[in-house]
Amino acid sequence: MANEIYSKSWWGSGVCDNDVNWGLVYKPYASCEIPREKSFIEKFGEPESGYSLRNLTSNPEQYVIQVINKELETFDLLETQINETDLLPFGTTLRVVKWYDQAGGSNETLTADPFNAPYIIKDKIMFFQNRKPTIYFANQTQLSLITEFRPRFNSLQSYNVSSYSPRQEPGQLEYNILKDVGRPPGRPLIQLLPSREPGERNSFKSIYSKIIQNGISYTGEDGFFREFESDPALINLYSVPGALTSPINFMLGNTTEMFIAEFILYKDLSLNQEEVTENIMNYYL
């Protein structure tokens, strides 16, 4: 009898599913397994598209990026492989040629030219913000969604975890962050306005009237955003209601030096905007 009380069968088959009252007392004696934490998508629902260096799904074999080395060998990588120990055997410089859509829609962002792809590691150096790995978009590097979104017309809210170098290459006519390339000749949706004076912050120019930085909403004056509380040179969460309308083709980067860790698109009518914002901020900030 004394040994039997430590078995699940003695306490009843449902003890490990009981999370109230005496169930909390029984669990340690029944040797219940620690429940698996729900994935991002399980918590908040499937986004239209989800690009991240962390695994947003419940599938431990979910690829997050595909990289290419100088010998033009490609490798699909899991979240657990995004570290120097696992990356360096593939090459001292690795470019991201595919950012997997973890929403399951096969809307991968790609680059047509691997030599214009952003970096996950460059000359043995990885890029981190707040100790989290990021994709480094050097000037003239980009990723684009080539295939169109699912054939539904709805407004999409973007969640973009990124930072922007205060030292941008001079002479550029525009510093693109996000561009709609489905409407030639390509409409810039959000652009960087680099600082011109030492100590001055970068600011944004946008077609949108509102950008939310780290949960705080800012209204652009004539499309210009200059008063963000947190410096854009630091990693922040930028959320834009109505950022994109599907179906659409978009481009990240091309003329702006920046670091991006996550880019997720949800329907604007999502019921979890505050919870999604809190989750992303707790993870990255």
The answer to whether 252 and 260 have CB atoms below 8 angstroms apart is yes
Residue 257 C-alpha from the chain's centroid: 17
Tell me what pLDDT residue 75 has: 98
- The residue type found at 214 is N
pLDDT at 147 over 70: no
Buried b (16+ CB within 10 A) or exposed e, 27-61: beebebeeeeeebbbeebeebbbbbbbbbbbeeee
* 30-54 pLDDT, tens digit each: 666 766 789 999 999 999 889 999 9
Confidence of residue 71 (pLDDT cuts 50, 70, 90): very high
Residue pLDDT, tens place only, 101-130: 999 777 788 887 899 999 999 999 999 999
pLDDT of residue 5: 46
Encode pLDDT of 153-211 as tens digits.
567 889 999 999 887 876 566 788 888 776 555 677 888 888 877 778 889 999 888 99
Q: Where are the domains of the chain?
A: 1-35, 40-284
Q: For tokens 């699912």, name the residue.
A: 150
Residue with tokens 């593939």: 90
Q: Would you give the end-to-end CA distance of the chain in angstroms?
A: 51
Q: Between 2.60.40, 2.40.50, 3.40.50, 2.60.120, what CATH number should domain 40-284 receive?
A: 2.60.120
**Is the pLDDT reported for residue 84 higher than 90?**
yes
The residue among 252 and 33 whose pLDDT is bigger is: 252
Contact 53, 235 (CB under 8 A): no
Separation of alpha carbons 220 and 208, rounded Å: 8
Enter the pTM of the model: 0.84
For the chain, percent of residues with pLDDT exceeding 90: 47
- The burial class, CB within 10 Å (0-12 / 13-18 / 19+), for 212 is middle
